């Protein structure tokens, strides 16, 4: 099958922390609707991006997509397999086929573990029966991610090398098991500006070499443009727009995407800045605005927008948008 990942109407609601007194006097519980009905598919070999501000639900969607968290509602499917139907053992086997690259290499690397040992770790977990091959596999992936010569780095510790090299370790550790799906959650956000472009180039190159499928999470569209084939733009736990990256760039159909786009400077990652977000009320996933969640900030909002929640509609081939009035933006 061509489709590797499929999520259908996934939701994740967390109960809001309340005090004992609150619980005594109110029956009603508030929920953070971190993810509130999101669907998408990722084809094998594709890089699918999820973009949005913090609080948009993108990291949670990443974890749900890999079956790392339980769904409140909906279905998450990997290569035709619904996680919720798996035994613990089957789940462990499936887990070999996916890996995560997190944003902060210092937080995800043990300072007392040598680089060689850190990269070997997932092999020890997932392929203990191949212990005799571990060292060669580790040296080979170190070479591929540019930690060269590998033997020079093998016995070093994270504090002895640069930040960019640490991020290469994290990438090597994710790829050493030869996963099919890689969740990259803002993988370059903490990296020094001077090495971001190199790291992105590396990720593009490794994707080709290992025929990887990426779920690439980012808060900024310039990074997505570098790496993604298709992109979904999230707003407060809902998908505002989804489509081929070039198409969304050339013709953004959702007013929120347009606002993000207007803030994107030149595509040179060396000159990146943080982008100002649209003016208006700060998004709150506890009590999201009624109707279209973007209406308090939308320059095109009409009465209907605060009453009726827009569904995703396909206005151009493979290009969907959740806005009642997006026809006016079709070029
Ligand atoms: Fe703006 Fe209305 Fe479209 Fe929402 S549905 S983006 S408020 S025009
Ligand atoms: Mg996050």
ipTM: 0.96
pLDDT in tens, the chain (331 residues): 699 999 999 999 988 876 666 666 666 677 889 999 999 999 999 999 999 888 899 999 999 999 999 999 999 999 999 999 999 899 989 999 999 998 777 778 899 999 999 999 999 999 999 999 999 999 999 999 999 999 999 999 999 999 889 999 999 999 999 999 999 998 888 788 888 899 999 999 999 999 999 999 998 888 899 899 999 999 999 999 999 999 999 999 999 999 888 876 555 555 444 444 555 555 677 888 999 999 999 999 999 999 999 999 999 999 999 999 999 999 9
Q: What angle do CA 61, 251, 243 make, to 5 degrees?
A: 30
Can you give the C-alpha Rg of the chain in angstroms?
A: 21
CB 295 less than 6 A from any atom of ligand 1 = yes
DSSP H or E segment with residue 256: helix 255-262
The residues whose Cβ lies within 5 A of ligand 2, an ion, are 59
* Helix 115-126 / helix 131-144 crossing angle, nearest 10 deg: 130
**pLDDT value, residue 192:** 83
**Is residue 96 within 8 Å of residue 177, measured between CB atoms?**
yes
CB 310 less than 6 A from any atom of ligand 1 = yes
Bridge partners (DSSP) listed for residue 3: 43
> Do β-strands 238-244 and 319-321 pair in parallel, antiparallel, or remain unpaired?
antiparallel
Of 304, 322, 301, 305, residue with least CA distance to 313: 322
Cα of 176 vs centre of ligand 1, distance in Å, is 45
**pLDDT value, residue 273:** 41
CB 329 less than 6 A from any atom of ligand 1 = no
Q: What angle do CA 104, 48, 209 make, to 5 degrees?
A: 80
Coil, helix or strand at residue 88: helix
Contacts of 235 (CB under 8 A, 6+ apart): 52, 53, 56, 256, 283, 293, 294
């Amino acid at each position: 099958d061509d489709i590797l990942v499929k999520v259908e109407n996934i939701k994740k609601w967390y109960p809001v922390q309340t005090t004992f007194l609150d619980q005594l006097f109110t029956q009603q519980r508030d929920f953070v609707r971190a993810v509130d009905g999101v669907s998408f598919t990722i084809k094998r070999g594709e890089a699918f991006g999820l973009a949005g501000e913090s609080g948009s639900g993108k990291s949670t969607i990443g974890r749900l997509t890999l079956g790392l968290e339980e769904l409140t509602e909906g279905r998450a499917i990997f290569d035709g397999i619904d996680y919720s139907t798996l035994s613990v053992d089957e789940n462990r086997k499936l887990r070999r086929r996916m890996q995560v690259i997190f944003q902060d290499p210092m937080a995800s690397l043990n300072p007392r573990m040598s680089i060689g040992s850190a990269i070997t770790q997932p092999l020890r977990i997932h392929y203990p029966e191949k212990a005799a091959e571990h060292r060669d596999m580790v040296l080979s992936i170190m070479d591929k991610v540019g930690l060269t010569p590998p033997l020079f780095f093998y016995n070093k510790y994270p504090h002895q090398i640069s930040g960019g090299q640490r991020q290469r370790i994290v990438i090597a550790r994710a790829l050493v098991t030869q996963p099919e799906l890689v969740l990259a959650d803002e993988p370059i956000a903490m990296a020094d500006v001077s090495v971001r472009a190199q790291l992105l180039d590396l990720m593009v190159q490794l994707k080709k070499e290992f025929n990887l499928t990426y779920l690439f999470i980012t808060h900024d569209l310039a990074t997505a443009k570098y790496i993604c084939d298709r992109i979904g733009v999230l707003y407060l736990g809902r998908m505002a727009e989804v489509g081929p990256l070039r198409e969304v760039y050339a013709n953004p159909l959702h007013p929120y995407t347009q606002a993000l786009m207007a803030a994107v400077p030149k595509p040179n990652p060396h000159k990146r800045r943080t982008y100002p977000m649209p003016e208006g009320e700060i998004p709150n996933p506890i009590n999201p605005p009624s109707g279209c969640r973007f209406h308090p900030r939308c320059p095109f909002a009409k009465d209907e927008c605060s009453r009726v929640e827009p569904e995703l509609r396909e206005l151009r081939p493979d290009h969907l948008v959740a806005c009642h009035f997006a026809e006016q933006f079709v070029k």
